């Protein structure tokens, strides 16, 4: 991608940023508090709670992939960056101009529009800064909360993928596949969410209007 990736994204209530070491304790606390809510959808949750040291190693790996512009995993924080509200991923899936979104939200903050706001921010950055042509969302059949976000933002349900392997190594499952094209994006509610994005050096990225 021609434009440097956004390392920090601000919305009205949230900060989305690349992981760094000081966020490991916040991640450990949030994941531990949400273990039961995460278990149906994320195989890795069965190993929680884990020591902060293990989360620190994970943060290091996530940062490495982010720096290489492979998979961008964002910590989603409150405006003061004191609490982790969830995670949001922009995943490379083998197509240069397409990425897949993945996300979870702290169950203590569901029903407040957090998921819609954070996904909207990354949709804007994906289309307006990165120049993507398509963004995808995959949700396990039955994960109505994730599917609702996709529908709210104008993603089209292309169909159900049957017994597909999970990225986290869990058992194969039926998956809803949603997509949003660049030509459809201007009509998406995401296009109207106020967003500012900054590169690694803290420079405001062009492209967002």
d(CA 139, CA 152): 14
Give tens-digit pLDDT for 42-83: 989 999 999 999 999 999 999 999 999 889 999 999 999 999
Question: Which of 170, 107, 185 lies closest to 140 in space, CA to CA?
Answer: 170
The answer to whether 3 and 130 are in contact (CB under 8 A) is yes
For residue 209, the model assigns a pLDDT of 65
Q: What does each of the 209 residues of the chain score in pLDDT, given as a tens digit?
A: 456 789 999 999 999 999 999 999 999 999 999 999 999 999 899 999 999 999 999 999 999 999 998 899 999 999 999 999 999 999 998 888 999 999 999 999 999 999 999 999 999 999 999 999 999 999 999 999 999 999 999 999 999 999 988 777 778 899 999 999 999 999 999 999 999 999 999 999 987 86
For residue 1, the model assigns a pLDDT of 46
For residue 3, the model assigns a pLDDT of 66
The answer to whether 149 and 116 are in contact (CB under 8 A) is yes
Model-level pTM?
0.94
**Domain 8-198 of CATH type 3.40.630.30:** yes
């Amino acid at each position: 991608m021609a434009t440097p990736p956004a390392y920090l994204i601000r919305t009205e209530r949230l900060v989305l940023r690349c992981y760094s070491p000081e966020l490991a304790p916040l991640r450990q606390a949030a994941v531990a508090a949400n273990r039961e809510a995460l278990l149906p959808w994320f195989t890795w949750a069965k190993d929680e709670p884990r020591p902060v040291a293990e989360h620190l190693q994970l943060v290091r790996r996530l940062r490495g992939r982010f720096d290489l512009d492979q998979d961008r995993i964002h910590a989603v924080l409150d405006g003061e960056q004191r609490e982790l509200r969830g995670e949001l991923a922009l995943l490379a899936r083998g197509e240069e101009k397409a990425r897949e979104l993945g996300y979870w939200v702290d169950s203590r903050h569901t029903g407040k529009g957090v998921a819609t706001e954070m996904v909207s921010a990354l949709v804007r950055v994906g289309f307006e800064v990165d120049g993507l042509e398509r963004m995808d969302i995959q949700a396990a059949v039955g994960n109505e909360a994730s599917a609702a976000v996709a529908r709210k933002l104008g993603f089209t349900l292309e169909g159900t993928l049957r017994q597909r392997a999970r990225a986290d190594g869990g058992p194969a499952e039926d998956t809803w596949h949603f997509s949003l094209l660049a030509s459809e994006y201007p009509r998406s509610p995401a296009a109207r969410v106020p967003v500012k994005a900054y590169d690694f050096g803290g420079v405001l990225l062009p492209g967002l209007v």
